[in-house]
């Protein structure tokens, strides 16, 4: 009876043959599913593998370029350093684009490897091209003295809200509380950093290099020129000033009577502003090409004249708060 | 209600979650959203109004609302509060000058009745910047330990490198899912 039951199957009616066939079918389907799962897993693994093989070989080639600097003449070193800088910027982009095939640990170590590369580029530059740096240093040193003078001036009216800043001095990059000075920073000082300028009056500021981001607050009667900024520039409470920089975004708040010579690859906005005017970025300095590459900004895309006013959302009507600087009034030459 | 019913319910409705992403302008909200979705982040413009993205993650369908943070837009935030499961508060960790403003806006938000049930994830963004405050410093500056009304968590991240974005969203989903489960 038992055998009979078995042969007939619990569901009744199905033969051993049918049952075996079904089981075989199920096995095949299962194998197919496993194969698919394995394939999709190996696609993910392959992408990670591809990432690391590319990343590591690129890294090795940059290290090789850098090691070729020792003993080379000045021109060769300059050219090699530029090559290394460009390649490192490309490698950073490659990492950013591939973060989704990496886990947190892999991302961290790759990021650390990139930072090491950037550090050794800076180090090589310092060793191989000391003269150029020295020249910059001298200028910067003179400028660095400025804040000392100013400690005697009373704190600005709203320093209460600024007090929470208390940043560790070493991390803070920029200038604060200076009047009537020429202030400069070199590429080495600001590369990939966040730069902050606050409470500057009647100053000329020259930032050579590519910071990651730039903040300006409480600026009066200044002329501020900066190299390509990788992400956004944030301007707050600025008046009677001239600004020039390339950036990815510009956000301008509470600003009056200020001219902006702008290269912006996405968009500029103003909010609570009046008398702000815009023209295309026209400042230049030696090394700006390299800094553009470091910043990752597209040189061919400049939306300087497409300004959104967040206080003027009336469609079709131009905002009364900003204008384009007429061509004949634009500044084309800049003091050093 | 039996377990199966709950699971089934999860499948249909609660597997869809509504996340609201807020913070001051320039904090990196839109960049986080686009990076999370694998899009190019170099062309992002300041947000005029809002962006909505629907994405699938771990079997959940996420409707993420990214609302502009400009001063003139903040009064519109409340239009987006309804049926929010998770609130993502994004902070520019290097913007020390606006931390007070940031704490005030977050404090006001948490008093909103319509956000009462929402889980709060604070992204201490822009950790790739050398001048960025750590997530512990952000926790202190925003007085997060005083928050008793919401489940919260602070995570340091960078929208540019992508670091920790997934970790943050995973925490948020786990917290919301657990809440939905125990509610029945
Ligand atoms: N360095 C750095 N910049 C970021 C990060 N996240 C966003 N940004 C930049 O900050 C600016 C503002 O970002 P956006 O997403 O538009 O800010 P939102 O106003 O909060 O939507 C952009 O220029 C971004 O490239 C980050 O993690 N690190
Ligand atoms: Mg935005």
DSSP string across chain B: --HHHHHHHIIIIITEEEEEEE-STTSSHHHHHHHHTT---TTPPPPSSEEEEEEEETTEEEEEEEE--SHHHHTTGGGG-TT-SEEEEEEETT-GGGHHHHHHHHHHHHT-GGGTT-EEEEEEE-TTSTTPPPHHHHHHHTTGGG--SS-EEEEE--TTT-TTHHHHHHHHHHHHHHHHHHH-
Task: State the angle between helix axes of A74-97 and A104-128 in degrees (0 to 180), rounded to the nearest 10.
Answer: 170
Please indicate whether residue B164, judged by its CB atom, sits closer than 6 Å to ligand 1.
Answer: no
Write the residue with the smallest CA distance to atom 7 of ligand 1.
Answer: B28
Q: How far is the CA of B157 from the centre of ligand 1 (A)?
A: 12
From the CA of B23, give the closest atom in ligand 1.
Answer: 20
Residues of chain A contacting B131 with CB distance shorter than 8 Å: 167, 171-173, 193-194, 196
Q: Contact B72/A310, CB-based, under 8 Å? A: yes
Superfamily of segment(s) B16-181: P-loop containing nucleotide triphosphate hydrolases (3.40.50.300)
Please indicate whether residue A212, judged by its CB atom, sits closer than 6 Å to ligand 1.
Answer: yes
3-state secondary structure of A77: helix
> Does CATH number 1.20.58.1250 belong to domain A11-127?
yes
Q: Which residue of B has its CA nearest to A109?
A: B163
Please indicate whether residue B31, judged by its CB atom, sits closer than 6 Å to ligand 1.
Answer: yes
Q: Contact A310/B73, CB-based, under 8 Å? A: yes
Burial of A195 (0-12, 13-18, 19+ CB in 10 A): buried
Q: How far is the CA of B45 from the centre of ligand 2 (A)?
A: 7
Q: Is the pLDDT of residue A237 over 90?
A: yes
**How big is the A-B interface in CB pairs under 8 Å?**
104
End-to-end CA distance of chain A: 105
What distance in Å separates residue B1's CA from the closest CA in chain A?
32
What distance in Å separates residue B26's CA from the closest CA in chain A?
8
Q: Is B23 annotated as a binding residue?
A: yes
Contact predicate B18/B85, CB 8 Å: yes
CATH class, range A139-329: mainly beta
Tell me, what's the pLDDT at A198? 97
What digits encode the pLDDT tens for the residues B50-102? Answer: 888 888 888 888 999 998 888 878 888 888 888 899 999 999 999 999 999 99
Contact predicate A287/A228, CB 8 Å: no
ipTM for the assembly: 0.89
Q: Which residue of A has its CA nearest to B69?
A: A310
Domains of chain B, residue spans: 16-181
Q: How far is the CA of B46 from the centre of ligand 1 (A)?
A: 9
Q: Contact A249/B45, CB-based, under 8 Å? A: yes
Rounded to whole angstroms, the Cα distance separating A60 from A69 reads: 15
B12 included as an active-site residue: no
Please indicate whether residue B119, judged by its CB atom, sits closer than 6 Å to ligand 1.
Answer: no
3-state secondary structure of A151: coil
Q: Is B85 annotated as a binding residue?
A: no
What digits encode the pLDDT tens for the residues B138-172? Answer: 999 999 999 999 999 999 999 999 999 999 999 99
What digits encode the pLDDT tens for the residues A244-275? Answer: 999 999 999 999 999 999 999 999 999 999 99
Rounded to whole angstroms, the Cα distance separating B128 from B139 reads: 18
From the CA of B66, give the closest atom in ligand 1.
Answer: 21
Contact predicate B21/B64, CB 8 Å: yes
Q: How far is the CA of A286 from the centre of ligand 2 (A)?
A: 34
CB-side exposure of A251: number of CA atoms within 13 Å?
Answer: 23
What digits encode the pLDDT tens for the residues A150-185? Answer: 222 333 333 333 333 444 445 679 999 999 999 999
Q: Contact A171/B26, CB-based, under 8 Å? A: no
Lookup result for tokens 């960078």: B158
What digits encode the pLDDT tens for the residues A173-229? Answer: 999 999 999 999 999 999 999 999 999 999 999 999 999 999 999 999 999 999 999
């Amino acid at each position: 009876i038992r055998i009979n039951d078995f042969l007939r199957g619990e569901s009744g009616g199905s033969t051993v043959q049918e049952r075996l066939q079904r089981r075989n079918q199920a096995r095949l389907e299962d194998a197919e599913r496993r194969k698919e799962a394995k394939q999709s897993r190996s696609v993910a693994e392959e992408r990670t593998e591809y990432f690391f093989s590319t990343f590591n070989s690129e890294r090795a080639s940059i290290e090789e370029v850098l090691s070729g600097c020792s003993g080379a003449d000045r021109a060769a070193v300059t050219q090699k350093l530029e090559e290394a800088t460009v390649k490192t910027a490309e490698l950073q982009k490659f990492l950013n684009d591939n973060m989704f095939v990496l886990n947190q640990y892999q991302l961290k170590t790759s990021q650390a490897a990139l930072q090491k590369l950037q550090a050794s580029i800076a180090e090589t530059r310092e060793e191989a091209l000391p003269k150029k740096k020295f020249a910059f240093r001298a200028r910067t040193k003179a400028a660095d003295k400025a804040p000392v003078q100013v400690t005697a001036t009373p704190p600005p009216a709203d320093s209460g809200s600024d007090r929470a800043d208390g940043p560790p001095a070493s991390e803070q990059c920029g200038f604060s509380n200076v009047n009537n000075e020429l202030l400069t920073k070199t590429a080495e000082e600001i590369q990939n950093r966040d730069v902050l300028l606050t409470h500057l009056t009647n100053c000329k500021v020259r930032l050579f290099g590519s910071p990651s981001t730039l903040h300006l607050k409480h600026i009066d009667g200044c002329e501020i020129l900066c190299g390509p900024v990788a992400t956004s520039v944030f301007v707050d409470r600025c008046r009677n000033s001239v600004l020039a920089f390339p950036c990815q975004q510009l956000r301008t708040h509470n600003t009056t009577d200020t001219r902006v010579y702008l290269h912006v690859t996405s968009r500029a906005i103003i909010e609570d502003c009046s008398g702000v005017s815009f023209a295309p970025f026209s400042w230049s300095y030696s090394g700006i090409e390299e800094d553009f590459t470091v910043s990752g900004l597209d040189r061919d895309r400049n939306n300087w004249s497409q300004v959104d006013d967040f206080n003027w959302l009336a469609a079709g009507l131009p905002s009364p708060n900003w204008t384009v600087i007429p061509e004949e009034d634009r500044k084309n030459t800049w003091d050093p | 209600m039996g377990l199966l019913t709950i699971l089934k319910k999860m499948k249909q409705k609660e597997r869809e979650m509504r996340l609201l992403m807020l913070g001051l302008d320039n904090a990196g909200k839109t960049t986080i959203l686009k990076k999370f979705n694998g899009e190019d982040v170099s062309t992002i413009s300041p947000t005029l109004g809002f962006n909505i993205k629907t994405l699938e993650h771990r079997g959940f369908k996420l409707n993420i609302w990214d609302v502009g943070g400009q001063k003139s837009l903040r009064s519109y935030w409340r239009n987006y509060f309804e049926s929010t499961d998770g609130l993502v508060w994004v902070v520019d960790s290097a913007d020390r000058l606006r931390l007070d403003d940031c704490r005030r806006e977050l404090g006001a938000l948490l008093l909103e009745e319509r956000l009462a049930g929402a889980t709060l994830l604070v992204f201490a963004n822009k950790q790739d910047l050398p001048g960025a405050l750590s997530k512990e410093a952000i926790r202190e500056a925003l007085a997060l330990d005083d928050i008793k009304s919401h489940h919260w968590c602070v995570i340091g991240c960078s929208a540019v490198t992508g670091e920790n974005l997934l970790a943050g969203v995973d925490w948020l989903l786990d917290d919301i899912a657990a809440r939905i489960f125990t509610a029945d």
